[in-house]
Amino acid sequence: MAEAEESSGELETATPRPLFAGLSDISISQDIPIEGEITIPMQGRARELDRSTLNESVRHTIMRDLKAVGKKFMHVLYPRRSNVLLRDWDLWGPLILCVTLALMLQKGSVDGEKDGGPQFAEVFVIVWFGAVTITLNSKLLGGNISFFQSLCVLGYCILPLTVAMLICRLVLLAGQGPINFMIRLFVVVVMFIWSVVASTAFLADSHPPNRKALAVYPVFLFYFVISWMILTFTP
Amino acid sequence: MAAADDLQFEEFGDGATLPATNPDATTIDIEDPGEISKRQSRPRGSPGREEDEELLGNNDSDETELLAGQKKSSPFWTFEYYQTFFDVDTHQVFDRIKGSLLPVPGKNFVRLYVRSNPDLYGPFWICATLVFAIAISGNLSNFLIHLGEKTYHYVPEFQKVSIAATIIYAYAWLVPLALWGFLVWRNSKVMNIVSYSFLEIVCVYGYSLFIYIPTAVLWIIPQRAVRWVLVTIALGISGSVLAMTFWPAVREDNRRVALATIVMIVLLHVLLSVGCLAYFFDAPEMDHLPTTTATPNQTVVAARSS
């Protein structure tokens, strides 16, 4: 290498000749050992990551998913105009919430008389088919949100209503009565408004302004029906 | 040079000035937007005009045929095909709802509001709202009626939602299907000037059910007289919307067939509303009402309390 540089240096100081005229004069008389390591930094890191998620403990994997779900819960509880729910959507949160809500809402035992409350399957079907119908409606109206993103947002925004269900069950432990009912009514109304505001904060931007109301109304109806089921729950 | 001149763009100027500068040029007149809106506002007409052309929509029947052909061009297995049925804005939906609430004689709901853009958003979500309104109001009304009874245990009666959904959606889809089939069959026998597509009939039926949503909410009031007054008002409004929409479609036909069709439409509507009232709302018993009962019943109350 050093010899080649010296000869090219000599070429530059000599009288101006056509380009690369003397290149053929250069001869590399001895073998230049070329050795070393070729590493591409990005690939190396990715291979490291793959290895780490395969070999990491089960607890670590579950905690990572739970932390993602928990982060989204925080975003629902304090709704800001962010697109965390939209960017990394997942359906674990909606599933956990829906199962919890359905478990709490179902009738405890099969009564001899006509049992009026919804069964587990009914609540589950209402939540999921309601969410699918609203998503289809949103897409048919020309919204630019994807199917699973919308399902994710609608599912996560059931969180306030699940909290309301928990509170209602606790309040019902103290016995039934008009004051009891007023407390439950107040809690359910507040959580209903919270749910609608939270989901609108995420979904509002996906529609042009002349169709926003058309896309938001089914969401309102959906959460209203769930609130009604929570409010009329009698143990 | 001549070659360079040929490549230059020629300035043609306004169409108005062209005949002056170049008498041989041909010009095409495109109407002002003002004229076009005047032409379109004529079918709306001033209230009281009952010309046949208005009802039949002969002015824009050619246009509507063309528009209908242009719109639904995607094959039915693509998503875009179904998107054409949701091509409405918020204010259009509100206008259609308003049109179903205020029927004016001489104005046809389909020609005036739907105008070859039938949507499925209105019928679907109005029916969904109505299902939940009837179920929830029925539940609330029964709770209020039986309030204070020792033997009454409140149940949410959730199964009634599925029954209500079946009834309402069957009515909103099967009756238009039957009516459309009937109209097509009559059309093959008698040449009718006005004919509706299946989706337009679904649209009319869906929007005409809107009046029942506030009616169902008001049915919570446990007074028999109030409920029957509400039923009459709701039936009057939605029945007249339906009758005025379908009268031009059967008018050309045999007198008896036309009258029978309209009577059948109204009768099915009556059946729906009275059936819902009877099934979902318990009859208010007189002796549970506190002070608002009519005078003949006060003696009954006095007799029971003594």
What span, in angstroms and rounded, lies between the C-alpha atoms of A201 and A188?
A: 20
Query: Do B262 and B231 meet the contact criterion of CB atoms below 8 Å apart?
Result: no
Residue A97 lies in a domain: yes
Residue B25 lies in a domain: no
Residue A41 lies in a domain: no
Residue A79 lies in a domain: no
Task: Indicate if the alpha-carbon torsion angle B255, B259, B261, B262 is positive or negative.
Answer: positive
Number of domains in chain B: 1
Residue B152 lies in a domain: yes
Report the mean per-residue pLDDT for chain B. Answer: 76
Q: Which residues of A touch B129 (CB under 8 A)?
A: 221
Residue B63 lies in a domain: no
What span, in angstroms and rounded, lies between the C-alpha atoms of B215 and B218?
A: 5
For residue A216, the chain B residue with the least C-alpha distance is: B90
**pLDDT value at residue A6:** 47
Q: Which B positions 85-104 lie with beta carbon below 8 A of chain A?
A: 85-86, 88-91, 93
Residues A205-225 have pLDDT tens digits of: 888 888 888 889 999 999 999
CA distance B100 to chain A (A): 18
Residues A148-170 have pLDDT tens digits of: 989 999 999 999 999 999 999 99
Query: Do A164 and A78 meet the contact criterion of CB atoms below 8 Å apart?
Result: no
ipTM for the assembly: 0.72
What span, in angstroms and rounded, lies between the C-alpha atoms of A54 and A61?
A: 10
What span, in angstroms and rounded, lies between the C-alpha atoms of A55 and A53?
A: 5
Residues B46-61 have pLDDT tens digits of: 344 444 444 444 444 4
Q: Which residues of B touch A213 (CB under 8 A)?
A: 90
CB within 8 Å: B156 and A233? yes
* Interface mutation vs chain B, best among A232, A233, A234, most B CBs within 10 Å: A232
Least confident of A9-13, B152-156, B238-242: A9-13
CB within 8 Å: B156 and A213? no
What span, in angstroms and rounded, lies between the C-alpha atoms of B122 and B205?
A: 10
- What residue numbers bound the domain in which B216 lies? 79-282
Q: Determine contact: A115 vs chain B, CB below 8 A.
A: yes
Residue A108 lies in a domain: yes
* Interface mutation vs chain B, best among A105, A125, A214, A227, most B CBs within 10 Å: A214
CB within 8 Å: B156 and A234? yes
Identify the DSSP state of B222. Answer: -
Residue B234 lies in a domain: yes
Residue B305 lies in a domain: no
Number of domains in chain A: 1
**pLDDT value at residue B25:** 60
Residue B20 lies in a domain: no
**pLDDT value at residue B174:** 94
**pLDDT value at residue A154:** 92
Neighbours of A177 (CB within 10 A): 9
Residue A227 lies in a domain: yes
Instruction: Tell me the whole-structure pTM to 2 decimals.
Output: 0.71
Q: Which residues of B touch A141 (CB under 8 A)?
A: 86, 121
CA distance B58 to chain A (A): 31
- Tokens linked to B26: 């041909």
- Interface A-B, measured as beta-carbon pairs within 8 A, has a size of 63
